[in-house]
Amino acid sequence: MRKDQRSMKEESQKMQSPCLEEFSQGCLHGCCPSPFLNQHEPQTKASKPRNSSAACRRDFASKTTSSIFPNTQFTNHESLPSMQDSFAEFTKAYPQYSDTYRVDQIRSREYYHLSFSDHTCLDYLGIGLFSYSQLQKQECPKYRIASSSFPVPPESPPPVLDIPFFGVSYKPGNLKTQLLHGGVASEFESVIRKRIMSFLNVSENDYSMVFTANKTSAFKLVAESYPFQSNRKLLTVYDYESEAIEAMSNSSEKNGAKVMSAEFSWPRLRLQSSKLRNMLVSKEKKKKKKRRGLFVFPLHSRMTGARYPYLWMSIAEENGWHVLIDSCALGPKDMDSFGLSLFRPDFLICSFYKVFGENPSGFACLFAKKSTIPVLETSSTSGIIGLIPSQKLFRAVTESPGTDTEVEYLASQSGRIEKGKTTYEIQHAEIVEKLKGIEMSEVSESDKGIEMECRGLDEVDSLGLVTISNRARCLINWLVSALLKLQHPNTNGTPLVRIYGPKVKFDRGPAIAFNVFDWKGEKIEPVLVQKLADRSNISLSYGFLHHIWFADKYQEEKEKVIERRNNEADGNKGKDKSDMGIAVVTAALGFLANFQDIYKLWAFIAQFLDADFVEKERWRYTSLNQKTIEVL
């Protein structure tokens, strides 16, 4: 077993992406980037042998641990160093963070609403298409709703009607037909399709693509069209509960699939390699050419930040599996490190949103390899969409509100104006009234050009993989280290926070799953932590870790940490294995994240060191007539 694991590790290192060369060039001496190398050190040392990749990773972890608040535990939130002092220490530990200053310039120029609102967005996944600056330019003053009922403070950016850039229309037909023959598409939709394929380095010669309403729709479309009657198995690799995977599993089972899942070892939630290999590898060598089913593989966990070796894709393909890659949780340039020239999955799913920190609506993209499309079955499916530019939406709203069946307008029943924590609801009739009299001729050519420009993608392309990855690596590892420094007072070292999955690690993803515990060691419900964070203008998420395997020596601990998923809609009261896991708080760092964001989260979590913090906040909820959340 150990021999297999060693061989897999060696083979995985050999099969790393071609972008490793880019990493080497951007990371000084060709080994994995160590943020502790002196900025002024000469970058050409031909006489000095290169360190191994493993050595660089170990060096990163050990130096991070020794540099971030060494030999210090914080037991009082009021004793935390200031953000300015913390940032000074942060830049000493990670001197090359200053090389990512262009990200701060983009944030200041294109996403200035984040500063106005003082909002920390740590709940965004996917890739942003447009910038907030574009949104402001697109929303011509004639389109804005001016009313004394919706006051706008002069110091803040003006609110905008929630119909930016495009809407969607649902396309009839089935997935196979759409992939083979396409359909009528607007010029806007064609431009967006080409831009996305270029951004992801996906060849139009090798892959066909459809837009879907969301990630769940994309997974469900594949499940409803895949030939599970002959290729019987569905194998997934997720350490967390996913609505999309659940929908796919349910549809697959109805179509005759045997659904299986990889498992993850407690306490570090590492992938159970030997079990996964046994599920993938065919024992019937004579029938090797026969397809065994669909292997669904995320390149990393969107909750814990764990990354998985690309080698698993090759093992699956060699053993007769079709491979679906879930890249929805990847960073905006991580597809560059994937390398479609080496790995050509049968299906690829990714998601896009409109504007970071302002409009999370968007769509997903489903790519299918052209050589794989013929194996799909013709079935009645829903979820495929077309994109409609906003000019057409204005015309649809003013001419035939609520009756145009072609247009599934995203805000067909109401619009939204948001300012801080206040949301103003505007009925559809009022939108129509406000927009009456606007003619299409009033939309200038320059305004149309804005819609065709995906500035969010352009900015990411200009930064590149190295800059984005190095910045995220510094931020997420500082956050992990800082959270682990929080300890309850007057206890025998009772930690405030428990982190699930990788901790300080060079190649961890920019996401973290954790829980907060009180001084008695009892978990504070993740939903409560999330709601309290929201009151502090910090957007977090919560989720459910599952498929966790416990060795015999951890059975006692298992009884303490494992819980049943809280699903009131499910009438099953038994302890189904799939319902058992761990509810957690999650945070994800987008490419625009900065040190202030992670410090703000750290300072918020530190408030739980006050034994009365939860009760104080509960009282505030009650006094404000808001719904209280009971701590179990």
Q: Could you state, in order of their start, the residue ranges of all structural domains in the chain?
A: 54-108+464-564+578-625, 166-389
Tokens at 165, concatenated: 């850039």
Residue 304: HSE in the Cβ half-sphere, 13 Å Cα cutoff: 30
Residue among 262, 231, 229, 264 nearest 245 (CA)? 262
Closest by CA to 466, choosing from 361, 561, 593, 336, is 336
Q: What CATH number has the domain spanning 54-108+464-564+578-625? A: 3.90.1150.10
What's the pLDDT at 124? 85
Q: Quick check: 131 and 357 in contact, CB under 8 A?
A: no
Contact 482, 69 (CB under 8 A): yes
The crossing angle, in degrees rounded to 10, of helices 2-14 and 273-280 is 80
What is the C-alpha separation between 277 and 237, in angstroms, rounded? 12
CB-based contact 524:631 (threshold 8 Å): yes
User: What is the reported pTM?
Assistant: 0.81
Alpha-carbon distance of 315 to 22, in angstroms, equals 26
Strand (E) positions, 384-528?
Answer: 384-389, 414-419, 422-427, 497-500, 511-517, 523-524
Asked if 587 and 512 count as a contact pair (C-beta separation under 8 A), the reply is yes
- In whole angstroms, what is the distance from residue 372 CA to residue 348 CA? 12
CA-to-CA separations, 319 to 152, 194, 212, 283, 290, in angstroms, rounded: 61, 33, 30, 9, 9
CATH code that applies to domain 166-389: 3.40.640.10
Q: How far apart are CA 156 and CA 107, in angstroms?
A: 16
Calpha distance 338→327 (Å, rounded): 10
Strand partners, 388: 167
In the chain, which residues have pLDDT < 50? Answer: 1-50, 140-162, 286, 400-451, 568-575, 629-632
- Which of the 8 DSSP states describes residue 283? S
Q: What is the pLDDT of residue 285?
A: 56
